[in-house]
Amino acid sequence: CQCEVGPQGRLILRCVATHANILSTDLELVAESNIPLYEMQVRDSDLEELKKEFPANINEHMEILTLDNTKIGQVYIGNILRPMKNLRRVRLDNETVQQIDREMFENLDRLEEIGVNAANLVTVKENAFLSLNLSLLSLRHNHLTQIPSAVTKLPFLVELDLFENPIEVVNDQEALVLQSTLKHIQKLVMNKIQCDCTLGKGEFLNWVRRRGISGVTCGEPPSLLGREITKLTTKQMCDTSATTSLAGGLLFIVLLVHFSAWTLG
């Protein structure tokens, strides 16, 4: 681990290719120095055996924590985070966090930003972010199939990043709940949306257009891949859907004719 002085003379600890016991020893040395540690980054390391919270002097001042590919056990993440009462930003990248529940970030009232990216995340419990006042939530490169209902408990959320999650549809009911709760949202990153006539005439597109929310792009059909939905007309979406359906129908007829000819022959 290496220490450096960041902006405003604040101490930052950066660790690469370290182990749980070495990190614990380094943190104890920092704690004994009585120099406040405001930020820590641990990357490409082995913290599998890290099962207890950090020294009190470390937790007291920590504002920014990044764990990236550290093999830390999901069950211990909450134990490490919860004593950091001044934590403002936390990133858990390339870890194994298949589920986010309330205990993970409980009582971290000063949290503004959370990132759980490329973590094999499947489930976000409805009360996962209860009592938090996040402005940014990033859940990129995971396995979520719908926008987690937990985000509706974040009234001050400005940016929600769901890039590379297989979320293809946001139905009208989900859209109505989102627009009634996310009053400050400006950016919603999604890139797998099915851009068809249902979307074109639905509440989700209506809300995104009306609020001027950026970041939602088409995943299907191929002709609209990567296009931002707010820059498409309902007619474009419906025409593309009709063309796709027609092409599929013609292909079926051609195959049927060939099959019939082969059978008769």
3-state secondary structure of 230: helix
- Rounded mean pLDDT, 233-256: 63
Supply the pTM of this predicted model.
0.89
Q: Does residue 257 have a pLDDT over 50?
A: no
According to the model, what pLDDT value does residue 171 have?
Answer: 97
Q: How confident is the model at residue 248 (pLDDT cuts 50, 70, 90)?
A: very low
Identify how many contiguous H helices and E strands the chain contains and give both numbers.
8, 12
Q: Does residue 249 have a pLDDT over 60?
A: no
Contacts of residue 204, defined as CB under 8 A and 6 or more positions apart, other chains included, come to: 170, 171, 172, 174, 175, 178
Q: Does residue 262 have a pLDDT over 70?
A: no
Q: Does residue 125 have a pLDDT over 50?
A: yes
pLDDT digits (tens, 9 = 90+) for 138-168: 999 999 999 999 999 999 999 999 999 999 9
Task: Compute CA distances 158 → 126, 129, 134, 165, whole Å.
Answer: 19, 15, 8, 19
123 beta partners: 99
